[in-house]
Amino acid sequence: METPVETTRERLLNVAEQRFGEGGYEGTSLRAITVAAAANIAAVNYHFGSKEALLRAAVARAMAPVNAERRRRLDQLEAGAPPTPEALIRAFVEPGLELVLRRGERGAVVARFIGRIAFDPSRRIRELYAVESEPIESRYLAALQQALPQASPDAVAFGYMNMLGLLALHQSQALSPTPGAAGTEDPGKLAENLVTFLVAAFDHGLRS
Amino acid sequence: METPVETTRERLLNVAEQRFGEGGYEGTSLRAITVAAAANIAAVNYHFGSKEALLRAAVARAMAPVNAERRRRLDQLEAGAPPTPEALIRAFVEPGLELVLRRGERGAVVARFIGRIAFDPSRRIRELYAVESEPIESRYLAALQQALPQASPDAVAFGYMNMLGLLALHQSQALSPTPGAAGTEDPGKLAENLVTFLVAAFDHGLRS
DNA sequence: GCATAGTTCAAACGGTCATTTGAACTGGAG
DNA sequence: CTCCAGTTCAAATGACCGTTTGAACTATGC
């Protein structure tokens, strides 16, 4: 097989995902990242321009396939009969959690990274996540509103935010030392449990 | 009335709540805190010993009344008939959100601080929160298990973690510039919306 | 008055931070 | 071989970090 040469740029992004997901943006130094990536400190500013630009590139790379899959599922759903809330919830949650299942340790690192960034203490960092998922958000909200005609727009937005929060919570706990704390020994069942939980809340817990 | 003299120690705790809740632990410097508190930098180490000890003291002070109220409600519930899931959820969620309602801006600062600390990127910081709410956690889990006999212990733990996460999410959004994003224009209804959401999820969304 | 314990202060400590610099290296094109 | 754009490198820059120091101030008890 061909030599899987990792460029300095790729190594920096990989390590950034791991370290930023572990210690957060402010809690992780460029020096720690470059040492782990076997790169020179100046390489970050050469390839990306700044620490925040490195984070931005890492967020974009990590979220691209997840959001692409969400878009694909949403397209598919909108092509057929009006989707149920469950179908919409699956289309959002499953791409975010299949990372852990389908791509092993590396996927778990990515999942944790995404989950942490989504609720970073700094507003500027959180907005990196928001910007990345903004294009798909309005489509989701509209589809949810159609699937839940009895719920007010405020209620739909409330449910969406809770879905976002719980997904980020369980993503951020990927690789955590106490996986049992996620409420399931088998990580493969996590997505099912979360979907069941959210579907019940959406179907019975949004005020009209 | 008597002079409401704020001691340096109190001013440091107040500003720490505000700044740590705004920028996170790593993202907030002692200098920023002491300047805003009109105190000398050395005052932190004099009164608390270190930056982390200041945070620990702030966490303890902020969570004490919330957990005391939770304990009180739990005592009351356990004195009567076996409580419903809804009663237990209310006993946990409402003390955490009434901060915002009953104590105005100051309470919102405290709520945001608690919500942010609960899911700080650093494990060491999160454990400060965990240690503080640990004594009450096992009682809650046991009561929840009794109220949901058909649910497995894993499912109960899963539901509890989701409740914790959603509460922290909405607490951390207190004082956020887009309060409408919380799904309700009236913050007074937030607790009701969250309880309704969680009750539905607990009653219909935990696998047996 | 004086001593004393509690508190505050400016200043400095060593260390780490993100970023910049300019030289050295690399590999392919002409 | 020469050139050159792309990349890597050690070193330095200035700023900021948490913490420490020892002197100065304050208020209370004698």
A181 pLDDT band, cuts 50/70/90, is: low
Domain ranges of chain A: 60-204
The string of DSSP codes covering A6-40 is: PPHHHHHHHHHHHHHHHH-STT--HHHHHHHTT--
Angle of helix B153-172 relative to helix B190-204, nearest 10 degrees, comes to 160
- Chain A partners within 8 Å of B201 (Cβ): 197-198, 200-201, 205
Q: Could you report the predicted ipTM of this complex, rounded to two decimals?
A: 0.91
Q: What phi-psi label fits residue A83: left (phi over 0), alpha (psi between -120 and 50 degrees) or beta?
A: beta
Angle of helix B104-118 relative to helix B8-23, nearest 10 degrees, comes to 60
Per-residue model confidence (pLDDT) at position A185? 60
pLDDT tens profile A93-125: 999 999 878 877 899 999 999 999 999 999 999
The string of DSSP codes covering B79-120 is: HSSPPPHHHHHHHHHHHHHHHHHHTHHHHHHHHHHHHHHHT-
Q: Assess contact for B160 and B91: CB atoms under 8 A.
A: no
Inform me whether the pLDDT recorded for A186 exceeds 90: no
Protein-covered nucleotides of chain C (CB closer than 7 Å) are 7-12, 16-22
Inform me whether the pLDDT recorded for A183 exceeds 90: no
The whole-number Å distance from A133's CA to D25's C1' is: 57
The whole-number Å distance from B173's CA to D29's C1' is: 51
Per-residue model confidence (pLDDT) at position B184? 60
Where chain B has pLDDT below 70, the residues are 1-4, 178-185, 208
Per-residue model confidence (pLDDT) at position B4? 56
A176 pLDDT band, cuts 50/70/90, is: confident
Task: Inspect the interface and report whether the beta carbons of B203 and A204 lie closer than 8 Å.
Answer: yes
- The CATH number of the structural domain formed by A60-204 is 1.10.357.10
Q: Assess contact for A44 and A33: CB atoms under 8 A.
A: yes
> CB contacts < 8 Å between A and B, how many?
129
Q: Using CA atoms, how far apart are residues A42 and A13, in angstroms rounded to an integer?
A: 15
Q: Using CA atoms, how far apart are residues A102 and A1, in angstroms rounded to an integer?
A: 22
A184 pLDDT band, cuts 50/70/90, is: low
Question: A47 exposed, middle or buried (CB, 10 Å; 0-12, 13-18, 19+)?
Answer: middle
Fold of B62-204: Tetracycline Repressor; domain 2 (1.10.357)
pLDDT tens profile A30-89: 999 999 999 999 999 999 999 999 999 999 999 999 999 999 999 999 998 999 999 999
Per-residue model confidence (pLDDT) at position A111? 96
